[in-house]
Amino acid sequence: ANLTPNKAHANIAFERFTESGPLALLPMSEGRMSLVYTVHSDDAQAHLALDDAAFLGKVQARFGYRLGRLKRIGQRSAYPLIMTRAHAQIAARTVFIGNAAHTLHPIGGQGFNLGLRDVATLAAMLRAPETSDPGAADLLADYAKHRAGDHKAIIRATDALAKVFSNRLPLISQTRDLGMIAVDLLPGPRHLLARHAMGLAARVPTLEIR
């Protein structure tokens, strides 16, 4: 759903990790924001049945007042979050990228970031002077091999985080909360985590915009 906060979002995206999963607000035009609100599957229909004021109240309670009071929400919809991955990233003269290759849990926009790194890598390989056939089997095999490590690491990390944040066991939730506090208070681990989340911890070709 899209909603409008009382304060300007200044083109900043926000994400909070809650006991039922991530809650994210992504900036849009005209002061609106796109809401990603994760709840346990057995609570989804109850949330959809709420009127707008009650639903916004639940979002507000979890997100806080960093953007002031949340107001005006659009049409809501729900769909299950299931991590999926294609059996192969390539086929005959074909490359699967983005949601065609993998559907990840909505944590830090990692699915989108991973797709951008795929595009950047493939574009760099296609424009290399030695590339004469963009659909050559050996070229696509090299691409798949080059991207396999990043895919595996991000898929494992997002799946593990989703399981940790959906776990209701007190010991797990308390350890999780302490870990998040530590990351928030310590600049070193926070910046390292941010670099990994943005894909800056390893060399990736730069996308050119012309």
pLDDT tens by residue, the chain, 210 residues: 999 999 999 999 998 888 788 899 999 999 999 999 999 889 999 999 999 999 999 999 999 999 999 999 999 999 888 888 999 999 999 999 988 999 988 887 888 889 999 999 999 999 999 999 999 999 999 999 999 999 998 888 888 877 777 666 677 667 766 666 666 667 776 676 666 666 666 666 766 544
H or E element at residue 25: strand 21-27
Same-domain pairing of 8 and 98: no
* 208 falls within a domain: no
- Paired tokens of 104: 């990840």
Amino acid at 208: E
Same-domain pairing of 93 and 185: yes
- Paired tokens of 10: 């200044």
CB 40 within 8 A of CB 168: no
Rg (CA), the chain: 20
Confidence (pTM): 0.76
Same-domain pairing of 108 and 186: yes
Query: Of the residues 19, 51, 73, which one is the last residue of a structural domain?
Result: 73
Number of domains the chain is built from: 2
Instruction: Tell me which residue range forms the domain holding 109.
Output: 84-197
Q: What CATH number did the domain enclosing 23 receive? A: 3.30.9.10
Same-domain pairing of 180 and 100: yes
Same-domain pairing of 26 and 106: no
Same-domain pairing of 112 and 58: no
